[in-house]
Amino acid sequence: MRLRTRPLFALACAAIGGAPAAHATGLMDTGDDLVPHDDARVVVHGAMRVRGEALGNLDLDRGPLENGVPLFPVPLADRKGQWLLGGDLRLRTDLAFYAPGGRTAVKVRVDVLDDVPLGDRPVGVPAAATSVITSGDRVLRVKRAWGETATPVGLLAAGRMGNAWGTGMLANGGDCADCDSGDAADRIAFVSPIFGHVAALAYDFSVAGPTALRKDGVRSVALEPTSAVKSLTFAFMHWTDEPTRKRRTGFGRTVFDYGAYASWRTQARDVPSTYVPFANTPPLSALQVVARGWQALALDGWLRHEGKHHRVELEVAHLRASIEDASLLPGVSLAKPVQSAQTGLVLDSSFRTEDDQHAAELQLGYASSDASPLFASGNTLRIPAADGSTQTIPVPENDRLDRFSMHPDFRVDRILFRELVGRVSGAAYVRPSVRGTLAGNHTGRLVASLAAIASMATNAASTPAGKSFLGVEVDPTLAWQGTDGFTLSLEGAAFFPGEALGNPTAKLEAKPAGLLRVRLSYAF
Amino acid sequence: MKRFPRFLLPLALTAAAACGDNMTFVEGSGEGTTVLPCAPNLDGTLAASELPVVLGGEARFRVANGIPVNLDGVVGSDGRRRFDFAGRYGADRFVGFGAASLTERWYAASFPGGEFVAALDAAGTLDGVYSRAAEGLRLHGVASRLEAPGEGKTLLVYEAPVLVLPLPLRVGSTWVSTGRVTGGTLRGSPYNGTDRYEGLAAGAGELRLPELTFASVLEVRLKTTVSPSSGAPVVRRQAGFYAECFGEVARATAADNEENASFTTAQEVRRFAP
C-alpha cells in the first residue's frame, strides 16, 4: 500500500499546481511529501531575504512618454539626478501540517514584511528616528492556505493554492529566490494518475464579484452571481520529480517530460465600480451591473528533455478571448466586441559539464503584440465631459488585444523587462549566458555568470519611436552559494537601449541605464 | 596594490553605464492620476458633479450635415426609449472639441465672469464663453476665435450671463433666460439685440452612437430666438443628449427658423466618436 500511495501523492500534488512540499515550490516539484507516517508532523521551510539596489538612469534620459510620465521615477529634489537607492526585505515561511497517517495535509504560505522597503515608515521625525513602524498590510500576508488529502483514486485539494506551470512563463507561483509576486488560485482540484501520466481537473473561483456581510457580521455573500469569474482547467502531463531526474541523468539516461492544459474562463456580467478607482464611487445597485460577456480559452503545451549534459525546455501558450463589452464605466457600452488572440513561446536550453560546475545556456522568447503602447499601464479612452472637455477612462483602444504578457516573475533580464516594462510583453528576445564556478569547498561555492539579452518589439507600432529594436542588456552575477542556506548575490546590469525607446517628439535618443543589486538570503 | 579582480569588471561597467546628469526630465511630469474623476450613478438626474470640466482636453466627434434624425426615439417593449444615432454617414468628418482656459484669449477682458471657452461651431471660428454657477452652466457671450478673422471680428457680450443648462437636470426641467447685447460686434459690424433661450429636458433613454451606447441620457431641447435690434428674428433649434460624467455626447441642430421642435432633418449632427 505504501509503495502505491507514494507516487500517487507525488503525482497528484504536482498536477494541481499547488506546492506539494512545505516550501511550496510549485507545479514541477516532486510533491513527495504526503508519505505515510503514524504521527502528526509540522514542517517549516522558508527564507529571509534582504535586497539592496542602486538604479541608474532607468528613465533612459529620453524624456517623458506621451502621457507625461517618465519611463521610471527620477529623484524628487534633484530632477536631473541619475541614481535611486533602496532596498527591501521579506521573510517567507511555508508551513505544512501533516495529519497522523500522512494522507492529509494543510499547507500555508505566510510572508512577513513582504517586500517592505528598508527604512520604511520611521517612528517620528526621520532624522531623529530610532525605529520603524511595523504595521500595515505588508507586515503579514497569508498568500496560500489549502488542504490536500489522498483518496484511493486520486488527490483532492481545496483552498487558496499556488499556481505554476512549465517554465513559469504564463503561470508562475513566484517561488524563486528573487520573485516578488506569484499566482494563487482559490481552487478545488482533483488529480489522478492514469496510464503513467497525471490528469488533473481544477475549478477556480477566480472572482466572486461584490459581496456583503451577512447578519453575523463575519461571513459574506456574493451579491451578483453573474459577475463571478469562473475557470475550469484540465491538465495532462508526464512528469518526473527532481531527485529522479538527477538520478537518471547522472547515470547517463535521458528524461523526457511533457504536459498540456486547457483552461476556460467566463464572466457574464461585471460590476466595475467595485474595482475601478472612481473619485465618487456610486452605491451598489442594479444600475452598476454591466454586461461583460467575457470568454477566454488558454492552451499551453510544455516539454522538457534532459540528459547528463543538456536540458531543453519548451513552452508554447495560446490565449483566445472575446469580450462582448469591454467598457469599465457603468452605463456606457462599447459597440464593438473586443477580440484577443495572444501567443507566447519560450525555448530554454542549457549545456553543462558533468559536475555542473560550468554551463552555457541559450533562451529564446516570443510574445505576440498589437499596436497599443508598450509602456502604457492600460489602454485609455478620452471622453468628453462638460462642453467638450475630456476625461480619460481605461478601456481598450481598439477591438483587438493581442499582446501576450509573460508572468512578472518570469525573469529574463534586470532592467528592460523587469523594471521598465514590468514583464516580457509584446517582444522577442534571445538570451545567451554562461555560468562557471570560480571556487568552492564543503561550505559552498562562488559562482559567476554573465547573460546578454537582445530584444525586439514584435510590433514596432507599439514602441515610443515606432521602431523594433529595444536594446541589449548585459547582466553579470557573482554569487556565494553556501551549503548552509546562506546566499550572497551581487548582481549588475547594463542596458543599452535601442532606437525603439527614443523620443521622436523631443528628438532625444535613449541613453544607457545600469543597476547594481545585492541580495542576501538565509534559507531554512 | 592588489590587482582589480577581473570577474568584477562587468559589475563595475554596469554601474558606470548610468553616470552623468539626467538631462531630459521635464519638470512637472509625474506619475499621473489613476483615480477616475467621475462615475455615472445612472439615477436619471444630471448633477453638477456629473459635469466635470477639464480644461485643455479635446474629444473627437463625428460631424455630418443634412442628416435625417428621430429626436423622439422609439419606445421598446420594455418601456425604455431609445435614440438611434448609430448610423455611419458617408459625409462624417472628425472634429475635435474641447474646453480651454479663457485667460489666454484675446477677448478675455470682455468677460470678467467667464471661466472657460468652448467652440460653438465645427469650424472653430466662434467661441462660447462659459462659467459654472450654483444654478448651472451659464453663457456669457460669444466671440470670434481670432481677433481679426477674414469675415470680421465678433464680440457679443451679454449684459448678464444666461443660463443654458440648469443643474441638477432631470426630465421635465424647463427654463427660459434672456441675454441682451448692447454695443456688440458681429462679423465686424455693430450689433445690438436680444437672445432668448427656452430649454426643455424633453426625455430620457438609451442613446446609440456608432462606437458607444449610453444607457442613460437626457435629451435637452433648446430653442434660441435671436432678435437683433433691426431685422427679423431668427429661431434656432437644437437637441443635445447629455450623459452623466460625459456632458453632451450628441447634438442635432436644425436649419434656421425650423418650426418643428421634433425636427426630422438636422443641418448638423455631432456625435462623440472615441
Give domain limits for chain B.
48-272
* Inter-residue contact A156 to A13 (CB < 8 Å): no
CA dihedral A125→A126→A130→A135, nearest 10 degrees, is 90
The shortest C-alpha distance from A60 to chain B (Å) reads 8
Tell me which residue in A278, A384, A474 faces B272 most closely, judged by beta carbons. A384
Q: In this model, does residue A124 exceed pLDDT 90?
A: no
pLDDT of A11 strictly over 80: no
Task: Identify which has the larger pLDDT, A34 or A513.
Answer: A513
- Given this model, what pLDDT does residue B35 score? 60
Angstrom distances, CA of residue A458 to CA of A300, A368, A455, A506, B109: 20, 6, 9, 24, 53
Residue tagged 547573460 (cell numbers): A451
In A57-153, where do the E strands start and end? 83-98, 104-117, 140-151
**Nearest residue of B to residue A452, measured between CA atoms:** B10
Is the predicted pLDDT of residue A379 greater than 60, yes or no?
A: no
Q: What percent of chain A has pLDDT over 90?
A: 61
Quick: pLDDT tens for A156-176: 999 999 888 999 999 998 989
Position with higher pLDDT, A126 vs A217: A217
How far off is chain A from B244, nearest CA to CA, in Å? Answer: 9
Contact B52 A273 (CB under 8 A): no
Task: Report CB contact under 8 Å: B247, A81.
Answer: no
CB-count burial class (<10 Å; 0-12, 13-18, 19+) for B93: exposed
Q: What is the pLDDT of residue B14?
A: 39
Asked whether the beta carbons of A157 and A189 are under 8 A apart, the reply is yes
Q: Among all residues of chain B, which has the CA nearest to that of A286?
A: B42
What is the arithmetic mean of pLDDT over A223-251?
90
State the average pLDDT over residues A19-24: 43
pLDDT exceeds cutoff 50 at B123: yes
Has residue B5 got a pLDDT over 60? Answer: no
When CB atoms are compared, the residue of A74, A279, A478 closest to B36 is A279
Query: How far, in Å, are A470, B3, B6 from residue A453 at the CA level?
Result: 10, 30, 22
More confident residue, A431 or A194: A431
Cell digits for A491?
548582481
Whether A295 shows a pLDDT value over 60: the answer reads yes
DSSP secondary structure letter of residue A127 = G
What pLDDT, on a 0 to 100 scale, did the predictor assign at position B36? Answer: 66
pLDDT at B25: 45
Select from B26, B40, B53 the Cβ nearest to the Cβ of A329: B40
Name which of B22, B32, B39 is nearest A68 (Cβ-Cβ).
Answer: B32
**pLDDT for position A207:** 87
pLDDT at position A445 is: 96
As a residue count, chain B comes to 274
Interface predicted TM-score of the whole assembly (ipTM), two decimals: 0.75
Q: Do A390 and B98 touch (CB under 8 A)?
A: yes
Give dist(CA A51, CA A183) in Å, integer: 22
Phi, psi for residue A360 in degrees, rounded to 5: -130, 140
Nearest CB to B40: which of A74, A330, A474? A330
| Distance of residue B270 Cα from the nearest chain A Cα, in angstroms | 11
Mean pLDDT of A388-415: 74
Residue A437: the pLDDT is: 97
Q: Tell me what pLDDT residue A274 has.
A: 85
Asked whether the beta carbons of A79 and A22 are under 8 A apart, the reply is no
- A499/A422 Cα distance (integer angstroms): 19
The residues spanned by each domain of chain A are 1-45+92-122+137-207
Reported residue count of chain A is 524
Which pLDDT value is given to residue A385? 39
pLDDT of residue B16: 43
Contact A384 B248 (CB under 8 A): yes
Residue A92 clears pLDDT 60, i.e. is over it: yes
Which tops the pLDDT comparison, B119 or A3?
Answer: B119
Q: What is the pLDDT of residue A398?
A: 62
**What distance in Å separates the CA atoms of residue B134 and residue B70, rounded to the nearest whole number?**
33
Range with lowest mean pLDDT among A230-239, B4-13, B222-231: B4-13
> Residue B7: its chain A contacts at CB < 8 A?
438, 448, 478
Mind telling me how many Å the CA of B7 is from chain A's nearest CA?
Answer: 8
Query: What pLDDT score does B120 carry?
Result: 85
Give the number of beta-carbon pairs within 8 Å between A and B.
244
- pLDDT of the residue at B12: 40
Q: What is the DSSP string of chain B?
A: -PPPPGGGHHHHHHHHTT-S----PPTT------SBS-----SS-B-GGGS---TT--EEEEEEEEEE--TT-EE-TTS-EEEE-----TT-EEEEE-EEESTTSTTGGG-TT--EEEESSTTS-EEEEEEEETTEEEEEEEEESSSS-TT---EEEEEEEEEEEESSB-TT-EEEEEEEEEEEEETTEEEEEEEEEEEEEEEEEEEE-SSEEEEEEEEEEEEEEEEESSS--EEEEEEEEEETTTEEEEEEEPPTT---TT-SEEEEEEEE--
Phi and psi (nearest 5°) for A272?
-65, -25
- In this prediction, residue B27 carries a pLDDT of 45
Q: Which of A199-203, A475-479, B56-60 has the lowest mean pLDDT?
A: B56-60
Is B25's CB within 8 Å of A57's CB? no
Number of Cα atoms under 13 Å in the Cβ half of residue A26: 17
Q: Do B25 and A79 touch (CB under 8 A)?
A: yes
Give the integer Cα–Cα distance in Å for A404 and A370.
9
Give pLDDT, residue B175: 96
A264 or A277, greater pLDDT:
A264
Q: Check whether A62 has a pLDDT greater than 80.
A: yes
The least confident of A289-293, A482-486, B31-35 is B31-35
Give the model confidence (pLDDT) of B202-245 as tens digits: 999 999 999 889 999 999 999 999 999 988 999 999 999 999 98
Q: What is the mean pLDDT of chain B?
A: 85
pTM score of the predicted model: 0.81
| Helix, coil or strand: residue A72 | coil
Q: What pLDDT digit, counting tens, does each position of A380-394 carry? A: 444 433 333 344 444
pLDDT value at B53 more than 90: no
Torsion of CA A184, A185, A191, A194, to 10 degrees: -80
- Residue A31 vs residue A60, higher pLDDT: A60
> What is the rounded CA–CA span in Å between residue B14 and residue A61?
16
Q: Which of B6, B7, B23, B24 to mutate to test the interface with A (most CBs of A within 10 A)?
A: B24
* β-pair partners for B205: B217
Which residues of chain B lie closer than 8 angstroms to A506, CB-CB?
24
- Using CA atoms, how far apart are residues A486 and A444, in angstroms rounded to an integer? 9
Q: Tens of pLDDT along B156-213?
A: 999 999 999 999 999 999 999 999 999 999 999 999 999 999 999 999 999 999 988 9
